[in-house]
Amino acid sequence: MSASPENTAPGVKNDFIRQIIRADLAEGKHRAIRTRFPPEPNGYLHIGHAKAICLDFGIAQEFGGTCNLRLDDTNPAKEDPEYVRAIQDDVQWLGFTWNALRHASDYFEVFHLAAEQLIRQGDAYVDDLSADEVREYRGTLTEAGRPSPFRDRSIDENLDLFRRMRAGEFADGARTLRAKIDMASGNINLRDPALYRIKHVEHQNTGDAWPIYPMYDFAHSLSDAIEGITHSLCTLEFEDHRPLYDWCVDRVDLVNHPELLQPLVDKGFPREAAKPRQIEFSRLNFNYLVMSKRKLMALVTEGLVDGWDDPRMPTLQGIRRRGYTPGALKLMVDRVGISKQNSLLDISILEGALRDDLDAAAQRRMGVIDPLKLVITNLPDAHEESLTFSNHPKDESAGERQVPFSNVLWIEREDFEEIPPKGFKRLTVGGDVRLRGAGIVRCDDVIKDAVGRVVEVRCTLDPESRPGMEGANRKVKGTIHWVSAKDAVEAEIRLYDRLFTVPDPDVDEGGKTYRDYLNPGSRRVVTGYVERSAAQAAPETGLQFERIGYFVADRYDHTPAHPVFNRSVTLRDTWSGKP
């Protein structure tokens, strides 16, 4: 695979897949690049799928080609329209537009005609062996398989039996249609793999029209060929399937058998058949996560999380609700790169991409998540004023806003200590602190409740330290954030953290499973106060609450009257360096 890459300009991606594509285009192999993203609608898409989506759609975009969204719906028992809707939502959210929305089930008639052609060519046969027997005959990695006693049926008998399979005459599992390839092949996928199985089950698109369903490798390769896909990108576990993929494409040869496409032409589909090329790349995996659909499904059905879109889930619906942005995911995919080496990446790569994206994109606000009342005693009770704050320290175009300031504020409880530990730089009795953008206060005394807990700190504001005054730049050790109690809006703050406490929750060891490593502190809900302008943000707006972290207005529950903010990520990595 030593494609000769053209010299690419800085910033232009040039991984091994793009090198292959550049070489194919340079050789004039294709007029246009066509790719597809082919999820099976049997669950929600996760962060790993984002890599495949960015690659499939991204490459089509970069090379002026097209990308289809194809739902690989050949396994009706496990599939659901709920997933189909979420998949479309996810792809659109990431900012991609599909050329055509297709379903493998759109092609069922073509697969069926193709199977009959294989039978007529002597390339497929109907087998009566049971699933267990097929397994027994298949052999092992070190031992060749044995031919089924039904392998040499006549073409006519095979055609007749396949017609009767299709007519629904036989019970589930009674027979299969198998490719006739090589029972001694070193690649077990080539030992007469099944092409069709009998399954009397309703399909979400085709109803009860079919009692037989095509197997993955057959349907997938032919779907690519039907759509004229030039480069079929998939993850490494399909590398061993590539010889079978090529076998199906070559033996059916849609390019030279246009008659097989007639059912689609009758339905108004364009004729696009071509010979696709499969290229594999490594799966995306992060520590501190589980990503297989089966385990994600278990987390949901066992009630260990609050559904597929729980902000702690690695589903795209979940991380979107957590405050991840399409920009952060694309940044992460670019940083991770494309290779053929599977590895477990550190979750800090994902979180770091989010921090960097939000640092640039999120406006700044003030919010207090563990409120303590601060009263300024040298301002009149009715005091209210409006201070001008910039919305983003590094981006003037984000503009400014007015922040109400008054004699009663909420500050963060941890920013006050009655008995300060050594090195404490914030507020303490007799000490000074700067109230961000408002001036310097000195704490004179505190009010406690019946159990001795501080409920109010009482301060005087230095009039000379106010914005614009001579003493505004007077040095003090600390600056803290605040909101005006007269104007701030009470908010539900959902503090999310990693769902698992260990880097590799996926390893089932010593009788433990990922269920045993759930982080009990992964979701903490508190009541805080935020600036009114934060409360008024639209759902899904990402904000930095200064000194606290990045938050997002919840996609579903947030309203200006009842603001709900989810913590997307802390300002710094609070996990690194932990034992």
| DSSP conformation letters of 489-511 | EEEEEEEE--SBSSS-TT--BTT
83 or 170: whose CB is closer to ligand ATP?
Answer: 83
- Rounded least distance, CB 234 to ligand ATP, Å: 4
Distance CA 478, CA 467 (A): 16
87 or 553: whose CB is closer to ligand ATP?
Answer: 87
Contact between 235 and ligand ATP per CB under 6 A: yes
How many chain residues touch ligand ATP (CB under 6 A)? 14
- Rounded least distance, CB 412 to ligand ATP, Å: 39
Distance CA 96, CA 8 (A): 24
Contact between 76 and ligand ATP per CB under 6 A: no
Contacts with ligand ATP, 278-307, as mask; x by CB under 6 A:
-----xx------xxx--------------
Q: Pick the catalytic residue: 70, 178, 277, 293?
A: 293
Q: Which stretch binds ligand ATP (CB under 6 A): 38-46, 201-209, 220-228, 489-497?
A: 38-46
Q: Which position among 51, 112, 191, 231 is part of the footprint of ligand ATP (CB under 6 A)?
A: 51
Q: Which stretch binds ligand ATP (CB under 6 A): 13-21, 37-45, 242-250, 433-441?
A: 37-45
- Rounded least distance, CB 204 to ligand ATP, Å: 15
- DSSP SS3 for 426: coil
- Rounded least distance, CB 56 to ligand ATP, Å: 8
229 or 284: whose CB is closer to ligand ATP?
Answer: 284
- Rounded least distance, CB 53 to ligand ATP, Å: 8
Contact between 569 and ligand ATP per CB under 6 A: no
Residue bearing tokens 């397994």: 135
Q: Pick the catalytic residue: 18, 22, 34, 40?
A: 40
- Rounded least distance, CB 205 to ligand ATP, Å: 17
- Rounded least distance, CB 40 to ligand ATP, Å: 4
227 or 554: whose CB is closer to ligand ATP?
Answer: 227
Q: Which position among 35, 48, 371, 532 is part of the footprint of ligand ATP (CB under 6 A)?
A: 48
- DSSP SS3 for 458: strand
Distance CA 153, CA 156 (A): 8
Q: Which position among 33, 104, 177, 234 is part of the footprint of ligand ATP (CB under 6 A)?
A: 234
- Which of 433, 392, 381, 391 minimizes the C-alpha distance to 412? 433
Contacts with ligand ATP, 184-223, as mask; x by CB under 6 A:
----------------------------------------
- Which of 192, 172, 196 minimizes the C-alpha distance to 115? 196
Q: Active-site residue 239, yes or no?
A: no
Write out the two tokens for 545. 């609450």
Tell me, rounded to whole angstroms, the distance of Cα 523 from its chain centroid: 20
Distance CA 173, CA 494 (A): 50
Q: Which position among 52, 179, 252, 328 is part of the footprint of ligand ATP (CB under 6 A)?
A: 52
Residue bearing tokens 């480069």: 231
Q: Are 305 and 499 in contact (CB under 8 A)?
A: yes
- Which of 560, 553, 514, 569 minimizes the C-alpha distance to 535? 560
With residues binned 3-state (H G I as helix, E B as strand, rest as coil), the percentages for the chain, rounded to 5, are 30, 25, 45
Q: Pick the catalytic residue: 251, 283, 436, 547?
A: 283
38 or 542: whose CB is closer to ligand ATP?
Answer: 38
Q: Shortest Cβ contact with ligand ATP: which residue?
A: 48
Contact between 354 and ligand ATP per CB under 6 A: no
**What is the C-alpha R_g of the chain?**
31
Q: What's at 432, amino acid-wise?
A: D
Distance CA 96, CA 49 (A): 13
- DSSP SS3 for 468: coil
- Rounded least distance, CB 91 to ligand ATP, Å: 11
Q: Active-site residue 283, yes or no?
A: yes
Contact between 73 and ligand ATP per CB under 6 A: no
Q: Are 119 and 155 in contact (CB under 8 A)?
A: yes
Q: Which position among 49, 231, 242, 523 is part of the footprint of ligand ATP (CB under 6 A)?
A: 49
- Cα dist from 402 to 19, 231, 388, 405, 542, whole Å: 52, 53, 5, 9, 19
Q: Can you list the pairs that 158-164 forms with residues at least 24 positions away whose Cβ atoms lie under 8 Å?
A: 158/119, 158/124, 158/125, 158/126, 159/116, 159/119, 159/120, 161/126, 162/115, 162/116, 162/119, 162/126, 162/196
- Rounded least distance, CB 280 to ligand ATP, Å: 8
Distance CA 354, CA 324 (A): 6
Instruction: Write the CB contacts of 25 (distance below 8 Å, at least 6 apart in sequence).
Output: 33, 63
71 or 530: whose CB is closer to ligand ATP?
Answer: 71
**Packing angle of the helix pair 81-93, 47-62 (nearest 10 deg):** 60
232 or 465: whose CB is closer to ligand ATP?
Answer: 232
Q: What is the largest CA-CA distance in the chain?
A: 102
Distance CA 311, CA 524 (A): 12
125 or 281: whose CB is closer to ligand ATP?
Answer: 281
- Rounded least distance, CB 383 to ligand ATP, Å: 56
Q: Which position among 18, 19, 25, 38 is part of the footprint of ligand ATP (CB under 6 A)?
A: 38
Contacts with ligand ATP, 117-156, as mask; x by CB under 6 A:
----------------------------------------
244 or 553: whose CB is closer to ligand ATP?
Answer: 244
Contact between 88 and ligand ATP per CB under 6 A: no
- Cα dist from 60 to 2, 57, 65, 293, 332, whole Å: 22, 5, 4, 27, 19
291 or 454: whose CB is closer to ligand ATP?
Answer: 291
Positions in the binding site for ligand ATP (CB under 6 A): 38-40, 48-49, 51-52, 234-235, 283-284, 291-293
Catalytic residue list: 40, 283, 293
